[in-house]
């Protein structure tokens, strides 16, 4: 099969018809060469007006290797797994060779009254089927009071945190936040001695070795990628840090 280009130029109507014949061929060739995600660090774009955010980060390395991170509220980042990735039919597959065991976060409180002051003594630990006494730091604890004031603290390396609040302020709500866990806000009694609350892990905190995460590849740009997991569309911006 050959084309007479002189005839092509002399007959505009036939040229349009031949364009239609060649269009499927060009589309097939273009689709046969899927654009690959360039290596590097990609951070989820979360906007700039959020006081609290949770975001994901992907690091694509040579030889099809990746690392997956989860961030929350600038308290820090946690590495939740690594493994091998590949792209096929406009999909991205992350096969985790190393993951993190499912855990919950427990906040224990011992409260006492000293004069006209309430003293909260918090202890933050991991709960898992393997070990229930691992202390965890950088847990953000906020107590809201009836008079509109709020008091904040962060647990230290030993998982301990202390808050001293005037009793007349009447504490009514407690909010707890930590990277990789769903933030929890619940009512508390102004005067109570002991209690424990549990934070459930956010997506990513329960990734285990042997599991696979699947994304639809919506777009690969020069400095970003757009993916879709389940019903959530995620824009990852390439970082050069």
Q: Which of 90, 65, 67 is nearest to 80 (CA)?
A: 67
pLDDT, position 115 = 85
d(CA 227, CA 236): 8
**Residue 68 belongs to domain spanning:** 40-100+207-239
Condensed to tens digits (0 to 9), the pLDDT of residues 75-93 reads 445 667 889 999 999 999 9
CATH number of the domain to which 229 belongs: 2.40.128.490
Is the domain of 111 the same as that of 174? yes
Same domain, 79 and 138: no
- Residue 18 lies inside a defined structural domain of this protein: no
Does some domain include residue 25? no
Task: Return the pLDDT at 52.
Answer: 47
pLDDT one-digit tens code per residue, 54-82: 678 899 999 999 998 877 554 445 667 88
Interval 149-198: pLDDT, tens: 999 999 888 888 998 998 888 888 888 888 767 788 888 765 555 667 77
**Does residue 15 form part of some domain?**
no
Q: Would 56 be classed as within a structural domain?
A: yes
0.85 cut: is pTM over it?
Answer: no
- Mean pLDDT of the residues in the chain: 77
In a domain, 9, yes or no: no
Tally of domains in the chain:
2
Neighbours of 129 (CB within 10 A): 8
Q: CATH number for the domain including 135?
A: 2.60.40
Domain-embedded: residue 77: yes
Q: Is residue 212 part of a domain?
A: yes
Q: Does residue 113 sit in helix, strand or coil?
A: strand
User: Do 152 and 185 lie in a common domain?
Assistant: yes
Dist. CA 227–CA 47, nearest whole Å: 17
């Amino acid at each position: 099969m050959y084309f007479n280009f002189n005839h092509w130029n002399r007959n505009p109507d036939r040229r349009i018809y031949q364009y239609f014949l060649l269009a499927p061929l060009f589309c097939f060739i273009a689709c046969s060469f899927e654009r690959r995600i360039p290596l590097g660090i990609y951070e989820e774009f979360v906007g700039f007006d959020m006081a609290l955010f949770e975001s994901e980060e992907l690091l694509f390395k040579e030889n099809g290797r990746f690392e997956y991170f989860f961030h929350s509220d600038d308290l820090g980042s946690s590495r939740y797994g690594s493994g091998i990735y590949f792209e096929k039919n406009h999909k991205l597959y992350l096969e985790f060779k190393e993951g993190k065991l499912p855990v919950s976060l427990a906040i224990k409180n011992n409260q006492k009254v000293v004069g006209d002051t309430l003293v909260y003594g918090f202890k933050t630990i991991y709960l898992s089927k393997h070990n229930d006494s691992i202390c965890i730091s950088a847990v953000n604890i906020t107590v809201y009071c009836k008079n509109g004031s709020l008091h904040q603290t962060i647990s230290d390396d030993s998982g301990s945190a202390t808050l001293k609040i005037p009793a007349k302020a009447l504490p009514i709500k407690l909010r707890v936040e930590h990277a990789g866990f769903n933030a929890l806000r619940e009512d508390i009694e102004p005067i109570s001695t002991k209690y424990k609350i549990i934070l459930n892990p956010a997506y990513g905190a329960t990734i285990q070795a042997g599991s696979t995460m699947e994304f639809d590849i919506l777009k690969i740009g020069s400095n970003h990628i757009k993916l879709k997991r389940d019903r959530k569309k995620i824009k990852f911006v390439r970082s050069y840090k």
